[in-house]
Structure 1
Amino acid sequence: MKGPEADAPTSETAEAPEPQRTWAQALRESALAVVIFLFLSWAAAEGRLGWFSDTLSDAQDQAYDALASLEYHFAGPVVPPPGTPPVVFVDIDDATVQAADISPYLFHRRLLAELLGRVAATQPRAVYVDLNLSAPSQEPELGRTGQARFPRSPGDEALLSVLRTPQEFPVLLPQPAVFGEPLSTLGAACWVTPAVITDSGDTVRRVPRRWAGGPYPVSEALFLAAQSGGFRCPDAQRASLPPQNVYRTALYGEPIVFHEVPAPGTRTSTWPGLSVISAREVLTQPGTTLDPGALVVIGRTDANNMDMHGSAVGTLPGVELHLNALMTLLAYRHPVIPLPPLASSLLAFTAMLLAIVTAPLLSERLARGLARLGVRRTLRDVFEHPILWGLLFAAAFVAYRYAGRFLDFALPIVSLELARLALGRRFNQLATKTLKMTKLLN
């Protein structure tokens, strides 16, 4: 006859208790994740991991695009410092082009001459004309020798007359010559490069900086014009023969903070300090005046505009890229006056460290609380990912919005997963089997 103990479950039939992860294990995972994060950050920046370095860089770019797209439609929270001149965007929009019945490719030079004359009357701090003025607007003619000749139209001559007029402010142009004439013959004209920095997928994400010996990028030249000393055009950018490698810009710059530049009408923008006005209004309404002492940017956003670029927030006209880069410089200033490298590294490292350390601890506490309610602890990982992403995204959004800096939140996720894999039982079993197989083969 069996005793009462025969009815007790044996060790084979009893349900095994769920493994308990201690705080020490969570901290060990976090510490290893930090080490892996530092290594991957270095390897991705130096390209030491081959195709995997490109994969990590793409992940960082996608994280930046997510932040930029979220920020794009918000109003900018940072106002340029006191004393910063206002920025006025004179928009050659569809209404301007349709009213003038002009070529879809070249803006009418006579109208541009009139527009520049009215802008010059307000004595701006600087004017940038984001239009192609390298060739005359007339059709080419063949001479007796068969060589092409491009005659100038009356509008071209009117524009040259305005550009030859001496001014107390610089007129910034995106080419080294106008209709074949060097800028040294054109009063205050100065050549700046409209080149922008493109990275993965030909996407513009960063503020271009001047390369040694080359022309200033548009945004940097306008930023210097906004300072008390103004902008002085280098002699090389007014010579008849420009130096070599002049279109080259720095390969790295601080991120552009993107905000929407609305259509003309309200004269306000999501960027504090930037107003938008239609070129048609300036040309047809004599009482229209611009803010005196402003930084004036003239460019096209009409449907026939051919100057379109991919950006972190979608396809934008080139002039809007320059405006966002300029406003980033004016509002945040860090691309021109950066933090010391050590302080910048510590800022990024601290945010990443707190997120990597905090996420596993918070998920462990949440899992233990749910375990008391009967929820299986194997759901712990379900909570850890949203917590980690939430912490990292929140830190990155605050840094991007209020400091103009991008803190990557893709690499920490990869780092934590690699740390968990390295410390996991399956990885240890795989490593043990691999070592045994290596010994047998040897």
Structure 2
Amino acid sequence: MFDSLQDKMESAFKNLKGEGKLTEINVAQSIKEIRRALVAADVNYKIAKEFTDKIKDEALGSKNILKSVKPGELMVKIVMDEMTTLMGGQATGINVKGNPGVVLVAGLQGSGKTTFSGKLALFLKEKKSMKPLLVACDVYRPAAIDQLTVLAEQIGAAVYKEPENKNPVSIAQNAIAYAKGHSHDVVIVDTAGRLAIDEVMMTEIRNIKSGINPTETLFVVDSMTGQDAVNTALAFNDVIDYDGVVLTKLDGDTRGGAALSVKYTVGKPIKFASTGEKLNTLDVFHPERMAQRILGMGDIVSFVEKAQDQFDEEEAKRLEKKIKRNKFDYNDFLQQVNQIKKMGDLKSLMGMIPGMGKAIKDIDINDGAFSKVESIIYSMTEDERLKPEILNMSRKRRIAMGCGHNIHEINMFVKQFEQMRKMMTQMSKGKGMERMMQQMQQKR
């Protein structure tokens, strides 16, 4: 995410390394590099100049105040604060209050509206304990209704559709009536997109909004389109006056222009950020956390929040007892792997850890990273999973044949598992596990 922008920003701060204080000369050099980095990230030049002028004024105004802080660190702090402000300052919630609450989803074709609608339904179901109803109002795109139906099935949500009806306004109105009669407390209306802005599309989305009076209208932006996305967002806002923006495909080759410019240009907050195709990869947009990630500082708060979502107190206590008795087995390990996978895209997760983003940016880490481990464990008998110590050479050969990996790979995995189990047992005896569990419980 934002790898190129991150590298260029880091280069800009290098000018201040070894400097004793901020001066007009070294600040000007850094400002020049920062402005270039923003323009290269497809941020409008006017916005980039105003942004860097603010940084310059702040830096030169602070140069004699914090003498104990290194110039490079001070500049990073100033840039992060200004970048946070540029992207909205603080997280903004979604309004789903109503009987039912109605969320209208709009955007260009290919921006990821339908996938986002499914992600939002899952988010509201899991985070807000709501009962969402997805509504198929894209009456033009082939298989759009089928796609929304499949997404609904995957997350265990209901979908409202009228395949023969080509009037999206009446479909949406009928869906809201249906929701009231079937205890759905939020309705998510997925609308049609177009390849470009045209009067027919704008009229239709305006009619849908006026026909259903949504409690929240969201505009979905493909973050890979940079400044073009911002211009489109501005055009849509003039027509439907939406409440917030959703940035999709942040895991792609994102330059950062949309994230950094849209709030300034349109005046509407970014409410959600989406990465990948997995339905659990939707996050509330936090400007400060995003600024930290762009500047290579990671996002440990979001990482901990994702971990806590999968944390079960009773399960943790059970696991701790097994670890203390050195009884942690392959079933337990498999369960932990599944919990990690539920947290989202593995590379994105690792990128949230400070210092890890740059280290792994050129490494291919995909969702199949655990597939070898899972195939090995699934090739074991129930006894072997429960009793790791019974794995002799004969059993390992059978497991190797069952999972399609060679005996060396099986031996390596078994050795690493035993080393991990030993380390966990030692940690638990030293009260390390207990302290970790207590800290996680306090943060919940």
Q: Give the TM-score of the pair, scaled to structure 2.
A: 0.23
Greater helix share, structure number: 2
Instruction: Kindly indicate whether structure 1 or structure 2 has the higher relative contact order, using CA contacts under 8 Å at least 6 residues apart.
Output: 1
Q: Give the TM-score of the pair, scaled to structure 1.
A: 0.23
Larger radius of gyration: 1
